Amino acid sequence: MAKTENGVRIFQGLLILGNVVIGMCGIALTAECIYFVSDPHGLYPLLEATENDDIYAAAWIGIFVGFALLALSILGIIAVIKSNRTLLLVYIILMLITFAFEMASCITAATHRDFLTPNLFLKQMLERYQKPDAGNNNDKWMSEGVTKTWDKLMLQNQCCGVQGPSDWQEYTSAFRMTYSDADFPWPHNCCVLDSRGSPINLDGCKLGVPGFYKSNGCYAAISGPMNRQAWGVAWFGFAILCWTFFVLLGTMFYWSRIEY
């Protein structure tokens, strides 16, 4: 009898440990997703303009799933200690629902990350950067967002264009409609600027003399944060779910074995 008692106690201990880990992971997931949603790199307007901002939707789901995991893990610990069938059943059902939501979040983040290619941002930059007023308010809002984001990107990361400044020469763009090629082969922020915001040598910048214009592309500065966000949400969520799977299986087994 003592042996089976010990076996039960050990099993309960394992379930409690599992729930503690789930609770802590829930807090971590909430914190991580709040960080991503706060958009520290200011790249959200670019995604908004592509109308494909689902990696942010995945992060929002992650915030609430994290809270739910925390609350349910506390419920689970209480239920296992009391060995109450009703509580355990409630725990299992709510955990299954949370599992489904988290699964949706992971798959969304992983899938929509695949859509973020250099060509997508190139097309968007060419069609929306410095686009003069046209169409409706939504269009105007998105174009302004793209313009501000690109200006900030080029200034902070010392880069120009998606793959390089030659993007502005190879393709026509909304920018080219307003500014002639002779005056602006590429936008003003592609020139190396001094502390007051004017180019150190405008002719050197127009001619493409090394040192007077920014020759790097901005794609690394865009894709880096977005990849980290998508993979952070997707893979961390996946790890939590794998762990939760085992804890849930154990809990179901425990539930089926205790008597009313």
Partner 1 sequence: MKQGSYSARKENLSVEAATWYPEDKLRREKKRLLLIAPEELPSKELRICFYRNHCLEKGSSMCSCCVVLVLCCLGLLSADQSLKPQLGDFQFATNNPTLTTVALEKPFCMFDSSLYPNRSYAIYLYVMKESASTISSLVTDESSKPLGSTFQQTSGGQLGPYNAAFFDVPDCAVPPRLPDVGDMNKAPDVLTQYLFRVGDDGTCLYDPNFLGVCNPPLVPDTTYRFKYVLVDNSEGIVKDQTLWSDPIKTRRSKLPMKIDTWPGQRSGGMTVITSILSVLVFLLLTGFLASVFSAVMGSEDASAETKGASPTVQQSELRPQLGSE
Q: How far is the CB of 172 from partner 1 (least distance, A)?
A: 5
Residue with tokens 């309960």: 12
Site for partner 1 in 150-179 (CB under 8 A): 165, 169-173, 176
CA–CA separation, 178 vs 100, rounded Å? 50
| Terminal Cα-to-Cα distance of the chain (whole angstroms) | 20
Residue 136 interacting with partner 1 (CB under 8 A): no
Residue 259 interacting with partner 1 (CB under 8 A): yes
Q: How far is the CB of 48 from partner 1 (least distance, A)?
A: 16
Q: How far is the CB of 160 from partner 1 (least distance, A)?
A: 11
Site for partner 1 in 183-222 (CB under 8 A): 183, 185, 200-201, 203-204, 206-213, 215
The residue range among 18-26, 71-79, 96-104, 132-140 that interacts with partner 1, by the rule CB under 8 A, is: 96-104
CA–CA separation, 105 vs 85, rounded Å? 30
> Do the beta carbons of residue 22 and residue 244 sit within 8 Å?
yes
Residue whose C-alpha is closest to residue 148's, from 118, 184, 187: 187
Residue 14, burial from CB neighbour count under 10 angstroms (0-12, 13-18, 19+):
middle
Q: Which long-range contacts (CB under 8 A, 24 or more apart) does 1-4 make?
A: none
> Do the beta carbons of residue 178 and residue 168 sit within 8 Å?
no
Question: Interface mask (CB under 8 A) for partner 1, residues 219-238, using x and -?
Answer: ------------x--xx--x
Residue 126 interacting with partner 1 (CB under 8 A): yes
| Cβ nearer to partner 1, comparing 7 with 81 | 7
Can you state the angle between helices 219-257 and 85-113, rounded to 10 degrees?
160
Q: How far is the CB of 200 from partner 1 (least distance, A)?
A: 6
| Cβ nearer to partner 1, comparing 10 with 207 | 207
What is the DSSP-derived secondary structure letter of residue 32? H
Residue 75 interacting with partner 1 (CB under 8 A): no
> Do the beta carbons of residue 189 and residue 151 sit within 8 Å?
yes
Q: What letters, b where the CB count within 10 A reaches 16 and e where it falls short, cover 131-149?
A: beeeeeeeeeebbbbbbeb
Select the residue interacting with partner 1 from 22, 65, 110, 218 (CB under 8 A): 110
| Cβ nearer to partner 1, comparing 153 with 234 | 234
Residues that bind partner 1 (CB under 8 A): 1, 4, 8, 92, 96, 99-100, 103, 106-107, 110-111, 113-117, 119-120, 122-123, 126-127, 165, 169-173, 176, 180-183, 185, 200-201, 203-204, 206-213, 215, 231, 234-235, 238, 241-242, 245, 248-249, 252-253, 255-260
